[in-house]
Amino acid sequence: MTRLTSIAAMAASLATIITLAAPASAQSQADLASNLNDEGKELMYAGKYAEASAKFRDAVARVPEPKYFFNLCTSNFQQGKFDEAITACNAADKHSPTPELAAKITKLTDRIKQEAKAQNIELHPTGGGGGDQNLPPDGTTPDPTNPPDPTHPNVGNPNVATSNPPSGYTPAVGRPPAQGLFVATTADNKYTWTLGVDLFGGGGKIGRADYYGSSAGGLRFKGDYLLNAAQRFGAQGYFQIQHFGQGEMQSAGVATLDVFDLGIAAYKHLCPRSSPRLCLTPLAGVQLALMSPAGENDSAGSQVFNYAALGGRLEMGLQYGIGKRMEHVLGVQLGVNVYSPVFSGPSENPLDDMASIEEVGLDKGGAAVYVGFGYTYRFNTPLGSSPFVTLE
């Protein structure tokens, strides 16, 4: 009796272990698939569509969720792989997507068909996306002659769109979309371009001593373009105007100085993983500076900037992203604008009432340190419109 009791206890323990182990194994595959999907989206942002497809393909081989098929459809389409894209979209549609995802699948499928028609490409979907309507709802019926790998449940399953095409079949390939049609749904400090404005103020000296004041304030309008999303490296175009107050020397026609800068700069976001919404952004730029001493006006009364110099801008910014995809950015900056002596000014014609470069004290360069704060909005498509589809 004791022996039977021991055997029963061992059997019960073994059953408990098996019961607990099964969900753990399933959860492990789900975690791996989710991680692969995230890696695939990162590669999509970096423009590495082939590598992204490999990640999504591995994800659906582990867990055939419709969102993984949809992402695979998108990455294939971005490579111009029309047949493989439509196959993956059809598979996504057969795996019980949510109504929202089903609408996105239909939208992308229609776009693929339109592009194929425009390029005279005949589509031939294969595998689980090939149009076989006699599959079970979950589309996971195994082939008895080719059982799936237990560690990759859907590898070798012809009802999943990860299977290889028939021998001798060449998938249709065409020109890929000219632009990325997607946007990831996670916040990650990735964007296409931005528009922003900064207010700044500080002090320094431009020109000869005492010609102009040492205090300055200004306004900057800027636009960024992220050249390399993976490295968070980009370029900025900007124009800014700053005003220097009155100096101690009260020379005729010299009191204040307005400087209009038109420039371009390079920058890099440094964003710690522990605080992804916060980024430190060093920036360096060059600019053309147009100067207007004492608010100089033309005969019509409009202010003119008749003195030109070269300039540079060095800045360290601290930015914080707000919103679902960090589209709203608040920032503070510490920087310096430096200027060469003026190299071009009004002619020295006696009939011209404009003062010479020396007379306005701009034959000397200078620099001004500033502290600023600003707001930037990030766009995820080249024209700032809504994306065609979003990755899942």
Give pLDDT, residue 51: 92
Band of pLDDT at residue 310, cut at 50, 70 and 90: very high
User: Could you tell me if 180 and 174 are in contact, meaning their C-beta atoms sit under 8 angstroms apart?
Assistant: no
Query: What whole-number distance in Å separates Cα of residue 188 and Cα of residue 327?
Result: 10
Residue 239 makes CB contacts below 8 A (sequence gap 6+) with: 220, 221, 260, 261, 262, 263
Rounded CA-CA distance 196/191 in Å is: 14
Phi then psi for residue 120, to 5 deg, are: 55, 45
Equal CATH topology for 2-129 and 193-379: no
Dump pLDDT digits (tens) for 15-70.
554 444 444 444 588 888 888 998 888 888 777 889 999 999 999 999 999 999 99
Where does residue 361 fall: left (phi above 0), alpha (psi -120 to 50 degrees), or beta otherwise? Answer: left
Domain ranges of the chain: 2-129, 193-379
pLDDT of residue 195: 95
Q: Of 1.20.1260.10, 1.25.40.10, 1.10.357.10, 3.40.50.2300, which CATH number belongs to 2-129?
A: 1.25.40.10
The model's pLDDT over 245-296, given as tens digits with 9 standing for 90+, comes to 877 665 555 578 899 999 999 999 998 877 878 999 999 999 999 998 876 6
Q: What DSSP assignment string belongs to 203-220?
A: EEEESSTTTEEEEEEEEE
Could you tell me if 174 and 82 are in contact, meaning their C-beta atoms sit under 8 angstroms apart?
Answer: yes
pLDDT tens track for 145-204: 444 444 444 443 434 444 444 555 567 677 776 555 665 445 566 788 999 999 999 999
Average confidence (pLDDT) over 124-141: 45
The answer to whether the beta carbons of residues 247 and 213 sit under 8 Å apart is yes
Cα separation, 274 vs 176, whole angstroms: 37
For residue 309, give Cα distances in angstroms to 71, 255, 290. Answer: 51, 19, 6
Q: Is the dihedral of CA 72, 74, 77, 78 positive or negative?
A: negative
Determine phi and psi for 100, rounding to 5 degrees.
-65, -45
- Of 71, 84, 76, which is closest to residue 42 (Cα–Cα)? 71
Query: What is the model's pLDDT at position 141?
Result: 38
Quote the CA–CA distance of 90 and 126 in Å, as a whole number: 9
The predicted pLDDT at position 164 comes to 46
pLDDT, tens digit, 9 for 90 and up, residues 350-370: 545 667 888 888 999 999 999
pLDDT of residue 268: 95
Angle, CA of 35, 40 and 41, to the nearest 5°: 100
Stated pTM of the model: 0.55
CB atoms within 10 A of CB 150: 8
Query: Which amino acid, one-letter code, is at 221?
Result: F
Backbone torsions φ then ψ of 41, nearest 5 degrees: -65, -40
pLDDT score of 139: 38
In percent, how much of the chain has pLDDT > 90? 32
**Would you tell me which CATH number, out of the four given (1.10.1270.20, 3.40.50.12500, 2.40.160.20, 3.30.1490.20), belongs to the domain 193-379?**
2.40.160.20
Look at the block and give the residue holding tokens 């749904």: 185
Residue 292: Cβ-neighbour burial (10 angstroms; 0-12, 13-18, 19+) = buried
Averaged pLDDT, 231-255: 81
Output the pLDDT for position 190. Answer: 72
Q: What is the mean pLDDT of residues 312-334?
A: 92
Residue 93's CB: how many other CB atoms inside 10 A? 19
Only one residue has tokens 């942002």, namely 45
